[in-house]
Amino acid sequence: MAGHRTSWVLHVDLDQFVAAVEVLRRPELAGRPVIVGGRGDPSERAVVSTASYEAREFGVGSGMPLRIAARKAPDAVILPVDAEAYGAASAAVMATLRVQPGAIVQVLGWDEAFVGVETADPEAYARRIQQAVLDRTRLHCSVGIGDTLVRAKVATGFGKPRGVFRLTAGNWLEVMGDRPTIELWGVGTKISRRLAGLGIATVAELAAADPDALAAEFGPRMGPWYAELGRGDGTDVVDDTPWVARGHSRETTYQQDLTEPGQIEDAVRELAAHVLDDVAAEGRPVIGLTLKVRYAPFITKVFTKKIASTTDRAVVVARTLELVGRIEPDRPIRLLGLRAEMTMPDDAREGHSPTRSGW
């Protein structure tokens, strides 16, 4: 019975993490709308990395162009991204989680992690985590409690900010059933639209959907997985095996559109150099390439290519330039991105996580 359960998954999510780190460095910004993105200049092409709760009240959100965010929240303080500071703060948080009694910690990103724990009182354990993180880092977090990773992750949204919420098989459909599928972890705009095309609009409808119909739409692996998501089911195992990246990517938004073939080739070569430096640090060969092209004003295309396994930089660059040939001529380009996929080591963590989708 759920009431006697002692094995729990906790999802720890730092509240407005990047903005909170900036406010700690500049206490005078507390309570003010704060936007972090690009080089902090809304006249440049850049997007919002994060926005404080105060800025979100104006409709500012992650991924929004900075110039639009500045218009929505004219009194907001706009700051440049400082990845080094956020990385240091994140490391302190994760170190705090790892020293909690009996904790198994699976890091999901800068600002979130799963914690597996045996306890008869997960709410009390969650509150202790919140206090420990606050004492060590002065950062607040929310904690979702679940009997699977999916339920714990979704629960956190109901606990924000600074709260604790529990979702289990017992209350999943009561809490989530009438909500749109896009509120599920791993279901974005495109997938929710495709589900709607099958007559599936809510979480309850997805939970009750025919797996065969889903498999026909999404494939034999992903179809049943979406049905599982609708029920909140899945693994309850928190895996602390260090995450191994499948690939590395870099992208650049250009302040002036690229219009000449020579400009585009030079830009791709520069991206490739940075990506290959990241790949070299892994010591694994490249087996696939993805070139992301955003034409002006804002139309994005993605070109992919599998290549023979290689660690030769010149070969990877040559294969990348072959992808450049698929770019439409005479169309101005505002962004380029390059991702290199690598072979995976034998002992890499297995399984699918909705947050590990790359681009």
73 is written with which tokens? 């929240």
CA distances from 318 to 145, 264, 265, 333 (A): 49, 14, 11, 21
- 189-197 and 211-218 are packed helices; what angle lies between their axes, rounded to 10 degrees? 120
For residue 354, cis peptide bond before it (omega within 30 degrees of 0): no
Length of the chain: 359
DSSP per-residue letters across 203-253: HHHHHTS-HHHHHHHH-TTHHHHHHHHHHT-S------SPP--SEEEEEEE
How many whole angstroms from its chain centre is CA 253? 20
Q: Please name the residues in contact with 279: beta carbons below 8 A apart, sequence gap of 6 or more.
A: 248, 286, 340, 342
Catalytic site residue from 54, 112, 205, 341 = 112
Instruction: Say whether 183 is catalytic.
Output: no
Q: Residue 172 and residue 168: Cα distance in Å, rounded?
A: 6
Residues forming the active site? 112
